[in-house]
Structure 1
Amino acid sequence: MEVQETRVQTDRVLTIPNILSMARLLGVPLFLWLVLWPVFDGPKNDGWAILILALSGVSDYLDGKLARKWGQISRLGQLLDPLADRLYVLSTIVGLTWREIMPWWLTAVLLGREVFIAALLPVLKRHGYGPPGVNFIGKAATFNLMYAFPLLLLTTSTGWVSDVASIIGWAFVWWGTTLYWWAGILYAVQTRRLVKEAGAVAD
C-alpha cells in the first residue's frame, strides 16, 4: 500500500486547521503535567487529562476535514498534524508507564516503532525527501491508541467502570499497537521504493 501525499493548496500559516493543530500541540505539556501530578503527591486530575485527550481527538478530526473542505491544506499543516499525533502518543506512554498503568515492555514496543521510523528519516533526507506522509493505517493506529489511553486512565478508578474500561481499553491497545507497527512497516516499504527510484534516476 502506497502512502498518498495530499497536494499543498495554500502557503498561509494562520488558517483555522493550522490553529487547531497548534492548540493541540499546546495541550501536550498540560496533559502530561495532569497525568504525572499524582506521582509527585499532587491531587489526581485524571478527569481533566481525559478531557484534554478527547479534545485533541476532536481537533485532530476537524483540522484535516476543514483543511480539505476549505482548500487550506498547507505544508505547515502536513508537519504539525503528525507531530501533534506523535507527541500525544509519546506523552501518554510516558505518563501511563510512570504511573505504572502500562507495563514497561509495552512501552518498549511502542517506543521501538518510533525509533524505527526515526531511522528512516536520514535515509529519506539523503535522497532529497522529507518525512513520510500520514497514511490511513497510521491514522487508524493513532485513533485506536487515543481511545485506549483515556480508558486505561479510568482503570485507576473503582467498581464496574474500572472493569469495563480495562477490557475495552486493552482491546484498543492491542489493535492500535498492531496497526502502529503495520504503518511503520509501510513507511519502510515506501522509503525503499523512493530510494530505488532515486537511484534509477541517478543512473
Structure 2
Amino acid sequence: MSPAPDESSAERVFTIPNAISFGRLLGVPLFLWLVIGPRADEWALLVLVIAGFTDYLDGWLARSLNQMSKMGAILDPVADRCYILAVVIGLGYREIIPWWLAIILPLRDVLLFGLIPFLRTRGYSSLPVHFLGKAATAGLLYAFPLLLLGDPGADGEVGTVENLARVFGWAFTIWGVSLYWWAGLLYAWQVRRLMVSVPPVSAPAPDAR
C-alpha cells in the first residue's frame, strides 16, 4: 500500500504523473487536426490509444511514486473531458455520429459547471470522481475509436472489421452516454444534499480599524 501523501507533496506541480497528463493534453489538438484536416484516421487512433494508456499510467505512477497532487487531481478529469469534446467535434464534423449526440455530451459538463458556485458557498470547489463517472468515461473512450475505425471513408467500402467496429462502437456509445448522464445526475444530487446538510461558509469579518 502506498503511503498517504503529505500536504507538501499534494501541493507539488512538477511531478512525473503531472508531466504525463500535460503531454496527454497536448494530444487533444493533434487528434482534432488529424481527424478534420488530413483525415489520417490511423494516426488519430494511435493518439487515442496513447492517451488511454497514459491515462492509466499517470494514475499508477502517482500512487506508486507517492506523487499524488491537487494539480494531478484536476488535470486528469480535465484531460478526459477535453478528449471527449475533441472526439465528438471531430466525429460530428465527419458525420460519423449525429450532431445531437455531439451536443448532449458536453451539455452535461456545462450543466455541472453551473453547480460550482453552489459548491463554493459550502466551501467546496469540486466533488470527488466516483466509479460511475469513471466507467462512463471508459466506455466513451472505448466507443469513439471503434466508431472512427468503422467509418467507411471516402471509398465507401465497408468490410468485416468496419462492421464489427461500428456494432461494438455504438454499443459502447449507448452504454457510455447513459452512464455519463447518470453520473451527472448523481453529481447534481450530491450537490443538492450538500446544500441541505452543510451550512454556508461565512465570509471573514472585516478587520477593525
Distance in 2, matches of 1:8 and 1:163, equals: 47
Query: What is the alpha-carbon root mean square deviation over aligned residues?
Result: 1.7
Distance in 1, matches of 2:201 and 2:120, equals: 16
Structure 1 gap segments, 5+ residues each: 1-6, 38-42
Q: Secondary structure at the match of 2:66?
A: coil
| 1:143 aligned to which of 129, 134, 138 | 138
How many correspondences in the alignment? 191
CA contact (8 A) 2:108 2:184 kept: yes
Distance in 1, matches of 2:120 and 2:94, equals: 37
Distance in 1, matches of 2:25 and 2:125, equals: 21
Measured after TM superposition, the shift of residue 93 of structure 1 is 0.6
Q: Structure 1-normalised TM-score?
A: 0.88
Please list the CA deviations of residues 111-168 of structure 1 after superposition, one character each: whole Å capped at 9, or x if unmatched.
Answer: 2212221121121123321122221111111111011111111122331111011000
Of 16-25 and 127-136, more deviation after overlay is shown by 127-136
CA contact (8 A) 1:8 1:75 kept: no
Please list the CA deviations of residues 161-188 of structure 1 after superposition, one character each: whole Å capped at 9, or x if unmatched.
Answer: 1101100000000010011011111211
Mapped pair 1:59 → 2:65: no
Alignment of 1:80-159 (within 5 A): 80-157=75-152, 158-159=158-159
CA contact (8 A) 1:21 1:80 kept: yes
- Choose between structure 1 and 2: higher helix proportion: 1
Please list the CA deviations of residues 7-51 of structure 1 after superposition, one character each: whole Å capped at 9, or x if unmatched.
Answer: 7642221211111111111111111111111xxxxx330111111
Of 44-53 and 184-193, more deviation after overlay is shown by 184-193
Structure 2 gap segments, 5+ residues each: 153-157, 203-209
Q: Secondary structure at the match of 1:199?
A: coil
Alignment of 1:67-78 (within 5 A): 67-78=62-73
**Sequence identity (%):** 53
Distance in 1, matches of 2:85 and 2:53, equals: 19
Number of the residue aligned with 2:39: 44
More RCO (CA 8 Å, sep 6+): 1
Of 112-121 and 158-167, more deviation after overlay is shown by 112-121
Alignment of 1:23-34 (within 5 A): 23-34=23-34
Mapped pair 1:177 → 2:172: no
Distance in 1, matches of 2:119 and 2:136, equals: 23
Distance in 2, matches of 1:82 and 1:47, equals: 25
Q: Structure 2-normalised TM-score?
A: 0.85
Distance in 1, matches of 2:119 and 2:47, equals: 34
Give the residue type in structure 1 aligned to 2:179.
L
